[in-house]
Structure 1
Amino acid sequence: MTDFANLPDGLEPPQDDGAARHLEGRSLPHVSLASTAGGTVDLGALPGLCVLYCYPLTGRPGTSLPGGWNEIPGARGCTPQACAFRDLHKEFVRRGVAHLFGISTQTTAWQKEAAERLHLPFALLSDSSLVLQDMLDLPVMDVDGEALLKRLTMISRDGRIEKVFYPVFPPDRNADEVIAWRDTHS
């Protein structure tokens, strides 16, 4: 069984291919994404400070990861990233973050299992139809013929993207990076 909670040694970091440079300053689109908390979330209607972290996919115990997953730069680490955001959730709230969501192209049913197993205090949102990806031209990787979001984190205020972290590596330190940025950009 694969240990999803820990990053293996020797992972190749992703390179900045420039695929997210266009995002800062853009508005989040009015798109409703299915939520593991039930219902949908309209990203363009979110007031206040919002942190959205995009990730390729979460592994599931008893299910194999795609072939060569560890060799794809930036692919591995979704569970450690989610757990870091979970562990620092109260710090985000204390710093005025009104909304924190993880986003992937996985179905809500798949995400719900991960959210429950990992005891996430925030919802995961599904862009399984790639509507958000298309509207923002989010960077993707092709894995076994499936488009998966590349790992990136956006900070928005009242629907406008203020900061983008891309590429994100190592993923288990991303939540700390976001907090550090927030501390210097009140």
Structure 2
Amino acid sequence: MITVGQEAPAFSLPASNGETISLDSLRGKNVVLYFYPKDMTPGCTTEACDFRDYHPEFEKLDTVVLGVSPDDLKSHDKFIAKHDLPFVLLADTEHKVAEDYGVWTLKKMYGKEYMGIERSTFLIDKEGKIAKVWPKVKVAEHVQEVLQYIKEHLG
């Protein structure tokens, strides 16, 4: 279980901007690392569009927003284009980073069990430590809550 104050698990993943992004390369900035189940689904679209709409405020607070899902880069490209997302999406196709952050879990839908992403957000401070964890995120007003926390504690 990831806890506040611990070193954030390192990662290096292919990104929608054509680069490979690692946590180490983001030292000196706050990082909102949000895990979501799937591109183009209703809840994930709402969450991504909320992060899009508040993106300038995150930038003013020296905070990078990164979305992570098991989708591949081709899927991410379509998602970004359709919703004009101004931030990078990371492709965790092997769900290794999701496992490292404890969000690759057993889920149930329509009586079937399967492994998938539990929607969760991690705020990583400029030193690479976990500043706040939002497990089992409910999409409504989540992005505003993250933004408010950064303003009050890391701004």
Shorter-chain TM-score range:
0.7 to 0.9
| Deviation sequence 1:12-50 (CA, Å, 0-9, x none) | xxxxxxxxx533223233321111111211124421211
Q: Select 1:115's aligned residue among 76, 80, 84.
A: 80
Structure 1 length as normaliser, TM-score? 0.72
Letter in 2 for 1:103: V
Cα offset, 1:145, TM superposition: 6.7
Corresponding residue SS for 1:124: strand
Residue matched to 1:152: 120
2:108 is equivalent to residue 140 of structure 1: no
Residue matched to 1:51: 32
| Deviation sequence 1:40-72 (CA, Å, 0-9, x none) | 11124421211111111122xxxxx6xxxxxxx
Corresponding residue SS for 1:26: coil
Considering fraction of residues, name the structure with more strand: 2
In 2, distance between residues paired with 1:120 and 1:57? 15
Residue matched to 2:4: 24
Corresponding residue SS for 1:38: coil
| Contact 2:67-2:89 within 8 A present in 1 as well | yes
| Contact 1:155-1:164 within 8 A present in 2 as well | yes
In 2, distance between residues paired with 1:43 and 1:84? 23
Residue matched to 2:60: 94
Larger Rg: 1
In 2, distance between residues paired with 1:113 and 1:145? 28
Q: CA RMSD in A?
A: 2.0
- The 1:141–1:108 alpha-carbon spacing in structure 2 relative to 1, beyond 3 Å, is farther
| Contact 2:95-2:104 within 8 A present in 1 as well | no
How many residues align? The count is 149
Unaligned residue ranges in structure 1 (runs of 5+): 1-20, 60-64, 66-75
| Contact 1:55-1:152 within 8 A present in 2 as well | yes
| Contact 1:105-1:126 within 8 A present in 2 as well | yes
In 1, distance between residues paired with 2:143 and 2:39? 17
Identity in percent: 28
Residue matched to 2:130: 161
Residue matched to 1:16: none
Cα offset, 1:141, TM superposition: 4.0
